[in-house]
Chain A
Amino acid sequence: MSDSIVVEDLVKKYGDLTAVAGISFTVKEGEIFGFLGPNGAGKTTTIHVLTTLLKPTSGDAYVNGYHVVREAQKVRESIGVVFQDPSLDDDLTAYENMYIHGRVYGIRGEKLRIRIDELLEFVDLQEFRNVRVKKFSGGMRRRLEIARALVHEPKIIFLDEPTIGLDPQTRYHIWEYIKKLRSEEGVTVFMTTHYMEEAEFLADRVAIIDHGKIVAQGTVEELKSMIGDEVIYLKLGRGPSNGGSVPCLEASFIKECRQLRPGEIALKVGNAGEAIPRVIELAKEKGWLIKEVRYKRPTLNDVFIYLTGKDIRESEGEAGEKIRHIIRSRLAR
């Protein structure tokens, strides 16, 4: 697998304000990369640089192997973008919106028509093909925007806060489409979000950004294991060999084993997901009967608090952002 996006020490300043303060990361081909951080952390600025809309103050960025400043044209040809702000023409139909996009990208005729219908099918909007967008719900608009960004078969798609302002159910629905993007269209996805559960559900790897700096990056599992151990709780029935009392399990991957009450033990491990099958195997060897397995792991939010000292939600709700949300939800109505 090669790298789809390579960012090296990227800095973007607006006058005295430093929006992005020297970030580096790579996105591998075919992965969903989540850029997680509160509003104003520099996420959108990063997307604007990567999509050639802004020139970086210093540092380099390559998208699909092309330099975002020196080879901007090549970058533009190979990417699809869904911006945070709504960008559909309300008075035009779903088909017309996609048609305009396709023509802008130099696709035409039968090829364009087939591609549009294929994509409308992909986001389940085929029956609304000739309906004006002003009648669409917020979720339908988002789906159409995603479909539109795919018309020219980009290798990478950028999604800036793809589910902002949507209700939880619609959000989940959009997530399913984003997963399908990779599995069916085979594109690399770079997305920004300030929703923990979004990054957790979708992203193969996550970079956490705060005040223009990446404070941590890795898989969700890796990030969580940064802040400590996971705990497996076992409820045991009477096994043939152990009679009434339950002694503890001992193994190299178990950091600590405590009996909580008769028949229930807690095991501290590094990674519960990997440890559980081994624990079950060990228990089987001993002839134990396992009635229930539970485990508790730190959430991404715990990781964020650990790294930045604040809850991601606390940093939400800047006035300007709020107004944008209101405008967005009005437009979406």
Chain B
Amino acid sequence: MEALSGFYVMTYRQLKKFSRARSRVIGTIVNPIIWVLFFGLGWSGVFNFPMAKQLFGGVDYLTFLAPGVLGMTLFLSGFISGISIIWDKQFGFFKEVLVAPTSRVASIIGRIFGDSLTTLIQLLIIFALLYPLAGSLSLMGLIPSLLIAFLSSMMFSGLGVIIALKMRSLEGFQLLINLVMMPTLFLSGALYPITTMPYWMKLLAYADPLTYPVDGMRYFLAGTSALQPTIDVVLVTAFTALSLGISSVLFRNTTVE
């Protein structure tokens, strides 16, 4: 009962904070739109020749890109929200939670859960904007895609929490963001297929946790994928469980320096 309370209230906090931070809401929606409009429409002019669809598993480039942009959004949003716990750590709210008698595991899972709900809301808005633009997105595929998106958003949020808990100061923050975010995004197959990557890059792509949510969502939304969708779902679930497990244990055992 008490544990549920900690879970509920941290979810509540993250949702409230999100709804109040208007710039964050606008930012997370505008960013993917810029990608789709300027990057997506730009390239879809290039891929306008006969047979071009074969490059992207039989769909037009925008349809191919749409699940990628959703994946990119859930990755950035999840990861940043998770790592933002560093601000709580730098200031006082972190201690507020640590000093409370409530279950720490429930608190951190509640926080990650709340952040992932906000990510889901963003994804729905972006999907609504993409749907008329991209040629042949499947409405039916939205539900399994959102499920994958929710799980992987928790995975990245947990990953962010793990990194934030291990970081001692804010100094390495920017470097880390660039070092982790760019490669994760480029290797995931969000912007171009994995299938045509050089062999060594493919290996890295398979090690990229973002590859599987993007591929899975692409299967359900665009009807094409590089891997078996079952593999995607199983791996996303496994990665999520691992990420939540590690972040919970780390948070439970954390002390102030």
Contact = CB atoms under 8 A, between A and B. Distances in A.
Interface of A: 14, 48, 51-55, 73, 76-77, 79, 81, 83-89, 91-92, 96, 100-101, 103-106, 108, 132, 331
B171 interface: no
B6 interface: yes
Contacts of A331: 91
Given A76-B100, A77-B101, A87 B13 contact: no
A77 B2 CA distance: 12
Contacts of A105: 100-102
Contact of A86 (B8, B91, B102, B255): B91
B99 A53 contact: yes
B4 to A, nearest CB: 10
B101 A87 contact: no
B16 interface: yes
7 contacts: A76-B100, A81-B95, A92-B13, A100-B9, A104-B5, A105-B101, A105-B102
A91 B20 contact: yes
Nearest to B9: A103
Contact of B5 (A84, A89, A91, A106): A106
B107 A104 contact: yes
A94 to B, nearest CB: 13
A139 B253 CA distance: 34
B interface: dominant SS: helix
A27 to B, nearest CB: 18
B168 interface: no
A53 B95 contact: yes
Among A76, A92, A103, find the residue whose CB has the most chain B CB atoms closer than 10 A. A103
A106 B102 contact: yes
A40 to B, nearest CB: 15
A73 B21 CA distance: 34
Given A89-B13, A92-B17, A104 B255 contact: no
Nearest to A331: B91
Nearest to B107: A104
B98 A53 contact: yes
A100 B257 CA distance: 25
Contacts of A103: 5-6, 8-9, 12
| Nearest 4 interchain pairs by C-beta | A87-B92, A103-B9, A91-B20, A76-B101
Given A53-B256, A92-B20, A100 B13 contact: yes
B102 A54 contact: no
A103 to B, nearest CB: 4
Contacts of B6: 103-104
B173 interface: no
Given A14-B257, A86-B92, A87-B96, 18 more contacts: A51-B99, A52-B99, A53-B256, A81-B95, A83-B96, A85-B91, A87-B91, A88-B93, A89-B13, A92-B16, A92-B17, A92-B20, A100-B9, A103-B8, A103-B9, A104-B102, A104-B107, A108-B5
Nearest to A132: B20
B97 interface: yes
Contacts of B21: 91
Given A48-B256, A55-B255, A103-B5, A89 B93 contact: yes
A51 B20 CA distance: 32
Interface in B182-221: none
A130 to B, nearest CB: 13
A14 B100 CA distance: 24
Nearest to B96: A87
Contacts of A76: 99-101
Interface string B102-144: 1000010000000000000000000000000000000000000
Nearest to B3: A106
A133 to B, nearest CB: 11
Contact of B17 (A84, A86, A89): A89
A55 B253 CA distance: 11
Contacts of B99: 51-53, 76, 79, 81
A50 to B, nearest CB: 10
A54 B256 contact: yes
A81 B20 CA distance: 27
A51 B95 CA distance: 10
Among B6, B92, B257, find the residue whose CB has the most chain A CB atoms closer than 10 A. B92
Interface in B53-72: none
Nearest to B256: A53
Nearest to A81: B99
B81 to A, nearest CB: 14
Contacts of B1: 106
Among A54, A85, A331, find the residue whose CB has the most chain B CB atoms closer than 10 A. A85
A77 to B, nearest CB: 4
Interface in B222-257: 255-257
Contact of A87 (B2, B16, B95, B255): B95
A103 B100 CA distance: 10
Nearest to A76: B101
Contact of A73 (B91, B101, B257): B101
Contacts of B8: 103
Contacts of B93: 87-89
Contacts of A54: 255-256
A105 B96 CA distance: 11
Contacts of A104: 5-6, 9, 96-97, 100, 102, 107
A122 to B, nearest CB: 20
A53 B257 CA distance: 9
